[in-house]
A and B are shown apart, each in its own frame.
Chain A
């Protein structure tokens, strides 16, 4: 089988697993969950690293600074901002006896 078939299967498998796990999150935590998932979507940083590398290797230095750099920065804001915001929100949830 060609490689893309495996990749596509992987995509489907993880979609299903993710779906099953998230289904059980109580609505109390929907906002932190969403913002946590939002932080994870910054994982596209991996792609940004790969294309930057690709551009540098192809000697397209200007493009790599402009687009690669921009993609890295944007993805990184998403990741760091996302995880920190989630942490801040989760810290707010307190239970009666902790007070």
Chain B
């Protein structure tokens, strides 16, 4: 195969992937897009195998390549079909990490195999591939561990954490330069070890609601690691696809951090919102015995039975309680009674981008009832009842009103504009931002059902049976 043909085919593969991604913009064509991406990947593998004559690399080469691919495919299939929808965030993080680990290995081996000739560009990109790969791998594993609650999902902050982060970053840069100038096993090990340490320091302090941002950032890094490995090996399809993944992850990261009103920098260096400013107390603290929790069945029944338009607002609490099926049931029952029911999805509700959409889709909610924030916000004023299921910060009116608090300016769902709000939250504690929710202290137009969302939803469902 001539070089021109190789470049041409590489270009076609890249275009296929771009078309595939474009198709993923619409639900109706998304599956086709995913299939196209998979097909393009297969083409890319075949192209590289043929062009570089890898097929002819002897018995050992064939065993490793085809045996390895078979083992990997088998494990991948088992993982993909065993995992439950509720475990998707950690699954995505885990898979992402494995790709990063592969890139790191490629980087490390390239460093060794180049060490006699010292081509600076290849050496630099190989070392960077190793570093970014290690960070992707370790970071994703910690993120997956946090999401699966193997390690505490909260932000873990050590003494002098910022200082340790800065020091390990400086050490990492020194190790990278050393590895480029003096490529050897020792310097490669140094980059790996410091890289691992840096990733731990870096991801361990990311907690809770900052997870969607971290996940999309790690996703971006895995693409960057692949592209860097491609640069080191001079492989066109790898560079093309790696950089597409890298930039797409970056877009998502940007969208997420914008939706949280938190600069990416703050999330990365672990300024958790609660430690910046003390919590703000809501002004209208109610009198004793006059609380939104005192809500009678008659009232709720009346409310739900007469509501023409209901908006349900899910949050991470719904995922925690695994209440998505009950939410769907409630919505269906209300619809059967003639109400219009839609869902309002905040971009950062949950623990990964689009988390709520996946859970509700799994429960059987039609996707055309899932509304994005900007589309649904004008509808709250005309809705008779909004039902919050395990959401807090994303519906906190303090974001509009409490100037100077960390969440001020964060775009929220204007749930409090609804005629009545039913809040099915576990407790009255502030959300991740640490900012008290003034809605919890209002008595007018708010009903609070504290406790497990499953119990609260069952109560509502029983009322309208």
* A residues at B contact (CB < 8 Å): 3-4, 7-8, 10-12, 14-19, 21-58, 61, 63-65, 67-96, 99
Asked whether A51 lies within 8 Å of B110 as measured between CB atoms, the reply is yes
Q: A4–B227 Cα gap in the complex (Å)?
A: 13
Q: Given A17-B244, A34-B216, are A41 and B222 neighbors across the interface (CB < 8 Å)?
A: yes
- Is chain A's binding surface mostly helix, strand, loop or mixed? helix
Chain A residues lying within 8 Å of B103, measured Cβ to Cβ, are 44, 47
Task: Report chain B residues within 8 Å CB of A39.
Answer: 37-38, 41, 95
Q: When chains A and B are docked, how far (Å) is the Cα of A53 from the Cα of B28?
A: 41
Q: Is the C-beta of B395 less than 8 angstroms from some C-beta in chain A?
A: no
- A47/B372 in contact, CB under 8 A: no
Task: Tell me which residues across on chain A come within 8 A of B244, comparing CB atoms.
Answer: 14-15, 17-18, 37, 40
Size class of B's contact patch?
35 or more
Is there contact, CB below 8 Å, between A46 and B230?
yes
Q: A29-B354, A36-B24 are in contact. Are A46 and B31 (CB under 8 A)?
A: no
A76, closest chain B residue (CB):
B72
Residue of A nearest to B251 (CB): A22
Number of A-B contacts (CB under 8 A): 386
CB of B27 within 8 A of CB of A29, answer yes
Which residues from A are CB-within-8-Å of B418? none
B249 interface contact, C-beta 8 A: yes
Residue with the highest number of chain B CB atoms closer than 10 Å, among A52, A85, A90, A93: A93
Task: Please determine whether A34 and B353 come into contact, CB atoms closer than 8 angstroms.
Answer: yes
Given contacts A15-B243, A77-B79, A80-B76, contact A37 B95 (CB under 8 A): no
Partner of B372, one of A26, A48, A83: A26
A90 to B27, CA, bound (A): 8
A14 contacts across to B, CB distance below 8 A: 14, 239-241, 243-244, 247
B24 & A25 in contact (Cβ 8 Å cutoff): yes
